[in-house]
Amino acid sequence: MLTSIKSVGSYVPSGILTNADLEKIVETSDTWIRERTGIHERRIAAVNETATDLAAEAARDALRVAGLRPQDTDLIVCSTSTPDSMFPSVASRVQERLGAHGPAFDVQAACTGFLYAMSIADRFVSGGESKQAIVIGSETLTKILNFKDRGTCVVFGDGAGAVVLGPSSNGAGIKSSVLGSDGSGGDLIYVAPGADGPEGRGRPEIRMDGRKVFRFATEILAQATLQALEKANVPLEDVKLIVPHQANARIIEAAGKRLGVGADVMVNEIANYGNTSTASIPLALKDALAAGRLKSGDHLVLVGFGAGLTWGACVIKWEGAPVRAAA
């Protein structure tokens, strides 16, 4: 039995930080940011807004689109690198807010986390242990940024995306999934436990070697895509869309060139969100659906990479999930 995506939901905070705003905070410019990242603006969570707040709203949106009640679901898997606290999990907090039941837990694989979470939930559904599962990616990354470091503070944003997974009704669904990790690259992107100097002591912040991450990302996005397609026995020319982790527009374009596909296939929605880590794939997928870029029977690939180093990809034959809730 295959597992299919029944709906896609999303939520982004109302706060917006533009490139012009960043010009006033750090030594940078709108032109510099756009040329190197493709980002125009990013969403910023309020001081009292948490990963759980964003995740719960994205899950509610996905349930509305699917026409389901929380009680119709029996599993919640949430991916996040910015939980409200060490424990309890964001997933269990979301479960309480929704009034859902069944297992609820978090996974952490940085920007690849949503694909790890989907792979786990897929096994629950395809194995008959779950009838309807909610998979969430939620991040408040701006809370762990050093706004004096233009290499990171211009890149990341906050947001959440969610999907409802269930048994396929027409033979469509997740046809393959591949996951990988190489711990030897763990120092390329990581969260330092505290910033250097007395003013930042104890405040965690993202550190990244942008050039090395770029080289790794462009190679692994293409490699993981082809590996997942081979496992699914689907040729690249049959793929309608590739939805990569929205890390950087240049990375997306370079990976597309490696694969020999253009902007009509590679989804690039980073301009208005920035890099939202584990939330970026469902956010980009929802925007692609809203733009009418997928129809029932189309093949698509979700592919990502992240700190760890981690990577993953899955091939999906699209069942034809609704784009938005009925009026």
Residues annotated catalytic, as ranges? 111, 245, 275
**What is the DSSP code string of 64-106?**
HHHT--GGG--EEEEE-SS-SSSSS-HHHHHHHHHT--S-EEE
Using DSSP, state whether 191 is helix, strand or coil. strand
CA distance 11 to 3: 24
Closest to 11 in 3D by CA, of 52, 66, 40, 72: 52
Strand ranges inside 104-213, DSSP E: 104-107, 133-140, 158-167, 173-181, 189-192, 205-208
**Cα Dmax for the chain:** 60
Q: What is the number of residues in the chain?
A: 327
Provide the H-helix boundaries in 180-261.
210-232, 249-259
CA distance 207 to 222: 25
CA distance 86 to 83: 7
Separation in Å, CA 112 to CA 4, 117, 132, 280: 19, 9, 22, 10
